[in-house]
Amino acid sequence: MAQRLLKEHRDLQKEAKKSNPDILLSPVDSNLFRWAGSVAGPEGTPYEGGRFSLEVKVPSSYPLTAPNFRLLTKIFHPNVHPKTGEICIDILKNAWSPAWTLQSTCRAIIILLSHPEPDSPLNCDAGNLLRQGDHRGFRSVATMYTAIHATRKGEASRT
C-alpha cells in the first residue's frame, strides 16, 4: 500500500508542475494516510475560477477500501453536504474499485461539479432548485458561493 501511495504522490507531483493544474494534492507532514489539496472549478460552471480545498483520509486497507474525501471550501452543490463537506459520489461508496487512484477520484469530483445529481442531494436547497428546473437560481447562488469562498477576491473581501 505504501508503494502505491508513493507512486500516486509522484504522479500528482508531475500534475502539479503543469502551468495551471486542476488538481493539487500531497501528503500532510509526509503522512501517506492524510492528504490535503484542491481542485479547480470546471470551466463553464458556476464554480469556474474557484479553487476548492480538499481533505483526504486514506484507510490502512487502501486501495481495497475507498479513501474519505471532504471539501473544506464552502460550496453550493446538491452532492456536497453544506456543513461537513461530505461528497456524495458513488465511487466513494458502493462503486469503489482498487483501479481508482486519489488523482482519478479528484477528476471524478471535478466531473461531479460539472454534472450535479439533484436526485441524491446532501444539500436539499441546491437539489430542490435543480429538480424544480430553476437552473438560473441555482447558478446564481453557486456562483455567489464560489466568489465568496473559493476565489482570491472573496478571500480578500473577508479579511
Residues with active-site annotation: 88
Among all chains, which residue has been given the C-alpha cell 474525501? 69
Long-range pairs of 9-18 with CB within 8 A, sequence gap ≥ 24:
11/101, 11/103, 12/37, 12/102, 12/103, 15/103
Find out whether 116 and 128 touch, Cβ atoms under 8 Å.
no
